[in-house]
Amino acid sequence: MKRALIFLADGFEEVEALSVIDALIRGGVECVTAAVKDENRVVSTHNIPIIADKLISEVKNDTFDLVFLPGGMPGSINLAQSFDVNEIVIKHAQNKIVAAICAAPAVVLGPAGLLVGKKATCYPGCESYYPDLEFSKEGVVVDSNIVTAKSAAYAWPLGFKLVELLEGSETANKVKSSIYYQA
């Protein structure tokens, strides 16, 4: 079974995190949420508390097929300021899938050096966090093993794309059908 690690930092965007997690689980991917702090309780950007499966310290030496960074503010900044997040993301970017949505591509992946020579998208207005790249206006962008999405509106399409990359297009289409998704 493929495994995905989803970082949850205080201020994360819950729609971006949970929609992608839902799509992945429906696609047969084991999802592990990791709190980017010293306790499992994480509070979203809209003040909704969520209990993460693990602490980041418990997963930092594990290997996953996918590492996913939800956006939101100040969640993306909290991710970027975590040494462990940066270390895990850089390690996995060598040969696994790294995905980010909303502010996280510009705030985390760019400064970590993972967007050099890549095509990526991010939430409009966040480009200034990583001015070295002209971000695409597309909703979901795949460039090699780096997958980025623009905003919460693209959380489900991002989830479907990640299922496709991990489990194949047939499985991704079954997930879409199971929720009556229409683009």
Cβ-contact 77, 67 below 8 angstroms: no
Helices (H), the chain: 14-26, 56-59, 75-80, 83-92, 104, 155-167, 169-178
pLDDT score, position 107: 98
Instruction: Tell me the C-alpha to C-alpha distance, in Å, between residue 146 and each of 10, 11, 35, 51, 71.
Output: 24, 23, 22, 27, 15
Question: Positive or negative CA dihedral for 112, 118, 119, 125?
Answer: positive
pLDDT score, position 137: 96
Rounded to whole angstroms, the Cα distance separating 88 from 27 reads 24
Q: pLDDT averaged over the chain?
A: 98
Enter the pTM of the model: 0.97
pLDDT > 90: percent of the chain: 97
**Chain position carrying tokens 């200034």:** 128
**What is the enclosing helix (H) or strand (E) of 41?**
strand 41-43
Q: Looking at the predicted structure, is the pLDDT value of residue 183 above 80?
A: no
Q: Looking at the predicted structure, is the pLDDT value of residue 153 above 80?
A: yes
Average pLDDT over every residue of 145-162: 99
Q: Looking at the predicted structure, is the pLDDT value of residue 128 above 80?
A: yes
pLDDT > 70: percent of the chain: 100
Rounded to whole angstroms, the Cα distance separating 135 from 126 reads 10
Q: How confident is the model at residue 150 (pLDDT cuts 50, 70, 90)?
A: very high
Q: Residues 76-96: pLDDT tens digits? A: 999 999 999 999 999 999 999
Residue 37 tokens read as 């702090």
Domains (range + CATH), the chain: 3-178 (3.40.50.880)
Q: Residues 12-64: pLDDT tens digits? A: 999 999 999 999 999 999 999 999 999 999 999 999 999 999 999 999 999 99
Question: What is the DSSP code (8-state) at residue 136?
Answer: B
* 57-92 b/e (C-beta count within 10 Å ≥ 16 → b): eebbeeebbbbbbbbbbbbbbbbbebebbbebbeeb
User: Would strands 66-69 and 97-101 be described as parallel, antiparallel, or unpaired?
Assistant: parallel
